[in-house]
Amino acid sequence: MGVWESILGRDGRRFVKRKDSDAGEHGRALEELRSSMYSDFHTSEGAKRQQQRLCGPFVAMTFNFIVAVGIIMANKVVMGKVGFNFPVALSLIHYVTSWFLMAIFKALSLLPAAPPSKATPFSSLFVLGVVMALATGLANVSLQHNSVGFYQMAKIAVTPTIVLAEFMLFSKKVSLQKVITLGIVSVGVAVATVTDLEFNFFGACVALAWIVPSAVNKILWSNMQQTGNWTALALMWKTSPITIFFFMVLMPLLDPPGVLSFGWNWNNVAAIIISALFGFLLQWSGALALGATSATSHVVLGQFKTCVIMLGGYIFFNSDPGMVSLFGAVVALCGMSFYTYLNLRDSKESSAAAIKQLLPKQNSFSLKPKTIIDEEDNTDAINPV
C-alpha cells in the first residue's frame, strides 16, 4: 500500500475516483455543448431546428404583422411626402439593402448555413428568384395604375389561385370547411375594401399578370422551407442576387423615367433607407411566416392586416370607412378566427397521430435498456468500489 493509499484510506480513494469521473463527465458535457452549438450555427439541419424552435407560427406571423404595419407607414412617407414614385426602383433598393445586410451577417458568421448544392438544384432557386421579382414588381406597378379597390380584388384572387396551384403541383387538398371559410373571408374583405373598381387597360393587365407569380412565390417559399433544410435567411441569401438582376431588367420597362434625376438629398435618402430596412424585415418575417405556416395562411394574414388597419383607424383615429365596410371587416375577421381554429385542430390531430405511431417503437425499445441497467446494478453489487 502506497503513502497516499495509507493516508486517504478506502473512502479517500473512492472520493478521488468520483472526482476524476465528475471531471470526465464535465468535459464530455462541454464537448457535447460545443458540438451542439456548432451544429446549430454551421449546418443547415441545426439552423432549421433553431428557426423552428425560436420562430413558431405565432411568433413568425406576429413579427410579420408588426413589420407590415411599419413598412406601410414608411412607404407612405417615401411615395407621398418624399415623392419617390418609382416602385420597381424602390423594390430594387430594398433587396440590395437586404443583400448587403446578409453579406455582413455572413462575414460575421451569423448567416445560417444553406443545404448542399446537390440537395436543391439551381433551377429551383433561379425560378424562385425570378418569381419573387415579378410578384414584387408587378404588385407595386398594379397599385400605382389601379384604384385601391381593384388592387384588393386582385389580392383576393390570390387565395383560390394558391389552393388550385397546390392541388395541381403537390396534390394538396383542402377540406370543405376550409374552402367555405376562405370564401367567407374573401367576401368579407371584398365588402370591406372594394369601394371602387376604377382601372385602365394597362393596370388591369398588370394586376392579372401579378396573380399567378404572387401565388407561386408564396407556395415555393413555403414548400422549400418545409420540405428541405432551408432557413429563411439562407434562402434569401441565395435568391436575392437573382431577384436584384431581374429588378434591374424590369425597372426601365415598368418605372417612369427620371430616377437618376430625383432629388437625392439627405432627408430623402434617410427616408428611403428606413423604408429599405423595413423592407428587409418584411422579407425576412414573410419568409419565416411562410416556413412556419402555409401559403394560404400567409394570404389570410395579409387580409387580416387590412381589416385590422381599417378597424384600428375607425376606433383610434375617427376615420369613417362606412358601415358596409366595417361590417365586411368584422365578417372577414370572424372567418379568419374560424380558419385559425381549423388549422389548430388539424395540427393537434396530426401531432396526436404522429405520437401514436411513435409509441409502439418506443415500447419495443424500452425492454433492452432496462436489461442493461439491471446488469449494471448487478455488476456494481458484485464489484463494489
Give one DSSP letter per residue of 270-317, joined into a string.
HHHHHHHHHHHHHHHHHHHHHHHS-HHHHHHHHHHHHHHHHHHHHHHS
SS3 percent helix, strand, coil of the chain, rounded to 5, is 85, 0, 15
Distance set, CA 342 to CA 38, 175, 177, 181, 297 (Å): 38, 10, 8, 9, 11
Reported as a single tens digit per residue, the pLDDT across 63-86 is 998 998 888 889 888 988 899 989
Do residues 300 and 174 touch, judged by C-beta distance below 8 A? Answer: no
Report, as ranges of residue numbers, the positions in the chain whose pLDDT lies below 50. Answer: 1, 3-4, 8, 16, 33, 37-38, 365, 367-368, 370-385
Residue 362: per-residue pLDDT:
52
Q: What is the pLDDT of residue 91?
A: 92
pLDDT at residue 13 in the model: 54
Give the pLDDT score at 288: 93
pTM: 0.77
Residue given cell 424590369 in the structure block: 250
C-alpha cell of residue 249: 431588367
The span from the CA of 167 to the CA of 174, in Å, is 9
What pLDDT was estimated at residue 360? 59
Take residue 277 and report the three cell numbers written for it. Answer: 430596412
The x, y and z cell numbers of residue 9, run together, are 484510506
